[in-house]
Structure 1
Amino acid sequence: MSASLGTGVFVLSLTSIPICYLFNSFLSNNSAEAFFFAGCTSVPSLLISARFMLKKKAPEDPLFYLYAVYAFLSVVNLIIALEQDNIIDGFVTFYLKEASVCACSLLPPPHTHTHTYFSDEFTLLFQADPHINTAHGHMISYWDGSAHYLMYLLMIAAITWGDSYRVIGLYWVGSFLMQTIVYILGNAVGKFGTQIGFFFISHLLYIFVSVWACFRIFSQPSARDIQSTDVLSTVRRNLRHRPLDLVFVICLLLAFMFCVFRGLIALDCSWKLCHEYTQKYEPYLKDPSAYPKVQMLVSMLYSGPYYIIALYGLLVPGCEWMPDLSLVHSGALAQVQFSYIGASLHTRTPFSYRVPVSSQLVFMLVNILYTLVPQALCYRCCTQPEFFLRPTAEKKDE
């Protein structure tokens, strides 16, 4: 399959930049005709570009088209994050405004009660999701516009070359699941629980489609070319003769304790140690948006059991699920730690909930080490999976 398909998707995703700029310019000028013209020209242009890109041979994998759309949306999320930080301007102002200009530009001048009613309805419809203005939502935009965007492009490239993308796909599955769980629960129990609108409902469609993509990734066969003699020689070695795995066992125990400790803080544990740690190092856990609390609770319920299962997988040979599980978990923890660390330091977080300057070094060191442990374990499981595989003879006996 031609590599030009992957290049075409990359170029197509970048068209979101001029499209966002055009729509924002037209909406800022309150021109209904210009907005209508932009919509009528942008959609056909995208369709024609996609048709030209797939003219030679269209991929059979439906995830190619799904990830092409997601890559386009990831660039939009990156634009949103950059404009919120005032790095760029004039691209998505219409989305970030408290009330969209779209409804006002499409309706006649206000002079009747009917207009006021419909104007309010359209304003509510096109209003930006409130969570986008929080530090957590801000970091999610950066993550989706960078890490997820790179994953989409890599998976699209693998599809165009006919290679397996299961490893990258499982990493994305973990990242997506963690982001989605925190997003839904944080919106439901946080201070924005009463402001759920159109964009939250439309986000559910994205979730349903992405869950379908997760199942398709899990159903793909695992490609491992390991000699049975290597498996037998590795399985016979106990933990004392595997110093790297011994280090991982110690790190997993420490990570488990740290994970449970922060989960207890999120549950408002009355221990003095929890209170002092929150005040000195991680006051963001008390942020009223509820996203950090949900992150820590989900991490405790998700990562806590994983660390126990991973310990079992490192001690008992033949746990073939270990590489896949480590991929999903490392993707989830990378996502949650990126958004948590960034939001804890970002200026959009109220000053009283930000990490104190005197504690930032300790905060960064602890959280980065906590993030790197699952990534290193994942790399070990995927590059040296012999210990986790069973000899062919055992499989035949079963």
Structure 2
Amino acid sequence: MGTSTNYPGLAAIALHEMGAVGVAGAERCTAVLDAQAPPKPQLQVHTSGTTGAPKHVGFSFDMVAKYIVGQNVSAVAGEQTEATPVLLTFPLGNISGIYSVLPTMLQRRRAVLLNRFTLDGWRDFVRRFQPEMPGLPPGAVGMVLDAGIPPEELACVKMILTGAAPLDPPIQRAFEARYGIPILLSYGATEFGGPVTAMTPELYAQFGNTKLGTVGQPFAGARLRAVDAETGLVLPAGQEGLLEVSAPRIGEHWIRTTDIGVVDADGFIFLRGRADGAIVRGDFKLLPEVIERALCLHPAVAAAAVVGVADRRLGQVPAAAVQLKLGVPAPTSAELEQHLRYHVYATHIPTKWHFVDALPRNNSFKISLPDVKALFVQSA
């Protein structure tokens, strides 16, 4: 053991939106620490729960510099670029914010800042700066369709980049058919240190829309595989299972996720849903994504979120929160039930319904499932 000493001046700081405050009781470090092993500063980022319950993941400064900043800064720091400004909507406390804000700052790129994503703000950005490959949250793709944005308004756009959450294939198909703009998806998580797969312009040029719905192939040395949930055995190409990820920026070990997916023969990854969100209705296990995709096939449904709510007899039953399209006759819950019976088993029919003007979303523009569940508690 080495000698011990104090390291004064260390502090715990809590970041909230645009504010920063010292954590009560931890404004200054008085702990006795090993002089031979001083604490290494880290970024602590809160996860969204891809691999399980949300938690904090620590990134060393070296990891951030090498893998997050280094792989995303194409220009030498300090050189001014005249490229199209970057639209920044994610906070720095989230992995997507780190990946977008830090490289932008080091490139000295111009940026347009939004407090949070809004469709009006995005449209204004596209009109003013005519970007060829703008980003768009998956949840906003359907919003573009519902808003009836004319194709000529997006004439400058060659491709749309998206990720951070699943995108329903029917919505992707409808968007690409209306606007003639391919959507390139990616897949990642805080636990992986960021994205691990992406559909790139080069891959799209090679495969076109034959891989509709894919989140692309692994990159930057990442490896992905599908395994059997019970045995843990690696599954052959094309067979659905739980995804496991090995990301070199984090380590060579395999990280078990709760994402259900398929790795096809060409190495493309397709997401099928979340295992941890399964609803057990009596003896039947239901995936909310199956019900949501079927609901979104209805011409009046803009978006849907399905959660499990407690039931004294069956344990759980599905409940659906539905956001309807503007300017379209609103269906009743009975009409939506009838629609679902053409697409899913009777066990998948929700027993509770809630119609909303907009589904609740978090700062990453993902649907907030706790808030969706709260809708049914409030209505009860």
TM-score, normalised to structure 1, is 0.26
Write 1 or 2 for the structure with the bigger share of strand.
2
- When normalised by structure 2's length, the TM-score is 0.27
* Larger-Rg structure: 1
RCO (CA 8 Å, sep 6+): is it higher in 1 or 2?
1
